[in-house]
Amino acid sequence: MRRGAWFALAVLAGCAASTIPPAPGTVNGCGSGDFAPAATAGDARIQYGDPLGLVYSPKCLTISAGQSVTFFGDTSQGSNFGVHPLRPGGASGSDPGAGGNPISAQNNGATYTVAFPAAGTYGYFCLAHEGMGMYGAVQVK
C-alpha cells in the first residue's frame, strides 16, 4: 500500500516539474507557417487528450471569420474538460494573441463549440497541462 502511495506522489511531482513554454515570437507555439487549414468549410474540429496524449490536434488551425471550432475529447479514453480544463489566452504567461478571444473557460463536459467572428490569432491552453506543452492557437482570416 505504501509503495503505491509513493509511486502516485512521484508521478504527480514529475508532472508538475515539467515545463515547456511556448517558443518566443509565437502564439502558444504557433508561428506564421505552422497553421493547418480547416478540413471543411463548416465547423472545424480540434481533438484533445487521450488517445493522442497531452496535446491538441491540430495544434495550430486556420479558419475563416464566422466559422466555428469544436473542441472534443474521446470520452471512452477519459478525456474531458474536468481532466483537461480549457482556457483562452497564452500558456505560461506567453503572448495570448488577439484581444477579444471568444473562447470561454471550460471545466465540464467533453465537447465545446465556439464561433470566431473576427480576424485574429487566438491562443488556448489546458490549465492542468500547459507546462507540458498542451496549448495551441486558432488563426482567423
Which option is the CATH number for 2-140: 2.60.40.420, 3.90.550.10, 3.90.1150.10, 3.40.630.10? 2.60.40.420
Domain boundaries, the chain: 2-140
Q: What is the mean pLDDT of residues 63-78?
A: 95
Question: Which residues make Cβ contacts (< 8 Å) with residue 9, sequence separation at least 6?
Answer: none
Q: pLDDT tens-digit profile of 13-69? A: 444 445 889 999 999 999 999 999 998 777 899 999 999 999 999 999 999 999 999
Give 88's pLDDT tier (boundaries 50, 70, 90). Answer: very high
Q: Which phi and psi (to 5°) does residue 124 adopt?
A: -150, 160
Ranges 7-11, 47-51, 78-82, 133-137: which has the least confidence:
7-11
Dihedral angle, C-alpha 28, 87, 72, 115, nearest 10 °: -90
Q: Take residue 5 and report the three cell numbers written for it.
A: 502511495
